[in-house]
Structures are given as structure tokens and as C-alpha cells.
């Protein structure tokens, strides 16, 4: 079941699916301070502990920083926050599209939760072969091996 509700920002729980990017926060802060776009509600999953923000964690951080107390949300009951987060982040209009490191983080988290490659593929809408290829990168610790110089 899906509903549209205005929710108190304090009852929204961030979903730790990917890292918050500071440059995205700055862009959103400027945009939201001029007026929140009601056409882009947060996507949340109702749980016994509150509402998990499946899509909109950058916006949630900015809303909290700006002291905005309530926000429009599309509320899903008993849905998979991973599925909703991925669907929301594939939106071409997003400020922070998914990149290789985001996908590696997601696959590592799902693997750490005990999911098999087939289960991860099902959750992401990917083939087992694609999940396997990303697992090869994870097993080589590619995520931690990059060094960036300034």
C-alpha cells in the first residue's frame, strides 16, 4: 500500500545505503532554501521504529540543517528500502546519480547481510553474472585501493 503524507522530519530515519556527498548537500541547500519542490517528495518505508528514507537522504540532511519541520513523502508499507532507493537513484533528475563505488557499497552491505549473489541480483534487478563481476572487484579490495592526490 502506498500513500502520500506530510511527515515530521524528526520521525524520518536515514537509510545508510550510500555516502552523503557534500557537493550535493550544497546544491540542494541552495535549491531547498528557495522553496521545497513538492513534486519531489521523499520516498519512505514505514517500519515499527518510524519511517526509513529510501530515496531522499541528501534532501533529509538539508531539511534538518535548514530547520524545516515537515516534508511531503510517498509512504510505502512493508516494502524493500533497497529496491526503492535504487529506483529513486536511477532517476535521471537526481543530483547524485549512482556510481561504481555506490554499487560496490550496496553489494558489500547486502553480502554482509548474508544474501547470496542470486538474492542480491534479484534485489537489484541484475543478473547473477553482473553481481559476480562486482564481487570480483570487492574481493580485490578495489574500493579501498584507490588513492587520490590533491
| Predicted confidence (pLDDT) at residue 61 exceeds the cutoff of 90 | yes
Higher pLDDT, 46 or 48: 46
CA distance 54 to 85: 5
Torsion sign over Cα 11, 57, 41, 65: positive
| Predicted confidence (pLDDT) at residue 92 exceeds the cutoff of 70 | no
Considering the entire predicted model, what is its pTM?
Answer: 0.72
The pLDDT of 138-147, averaged and rounded, is 62
| Predicted confidence (pLDDT) at residue 28 exceeds the cutoff of 70 | yes
The pLDDT value recorded for residue 141 is 67
Predicted confidence (pLDDT) per residue in 67-91, tens digit: 999 999 999 997 888 888 877 777 6
| Predicted confidence (pLDDT) at residue 147 exceeds the cutoff of 60 | no
Q: Which of 27-31, 92-96, 99-103, 111-115 holds the top average pLDDT?
A: 111-115
The pLDDT of 118-134, averaged and rounded, is 92
Amino acid at each position: 500500500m502506498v500513500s502520500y503524507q506530510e511527515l515530521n522530519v524528526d520521525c524520518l530515519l536515514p537509510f545508510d545505503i550510500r555516502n552523503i556527498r557534500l557537493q550535493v548537500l550544497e546544491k540542494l541547500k541552495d535549491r531547498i532554501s528557495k522553496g521545497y519542490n513538492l513534486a519531489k517528495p521523499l520516498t519512505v518505508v514505514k517500519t515499527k521504529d518510524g519511517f526509513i528514507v529510501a530515496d531522499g537522504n541528501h534532501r533529509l540532511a538539508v531539511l534538518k540543517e535548514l530547520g524545516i519541520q515537515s516534508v511531503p513523502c510517498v509512504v510505502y508499507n512493508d516494502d524493500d528500502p533497497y529496491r526503492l532507493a535504487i529506483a529513486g537513484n536511477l532517476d535521471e533528475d537526481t543530483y547524485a546519480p549512482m556510481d561504481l563505488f555506490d554499487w560496490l557499497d550496496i553489494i558489500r552491505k547486502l553480502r554482509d547481510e548474508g544474501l547470496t549473489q542470486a538474492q542480491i541480483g534479484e534485489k537489484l534487478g541484475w543478473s547473477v553474472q553482473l553481481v559476480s563481476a562486482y564481487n570480483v572487484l570487492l574481493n580485490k579490495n578495489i574500493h579501498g585501493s584507490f588513492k587520490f592526490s590533491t
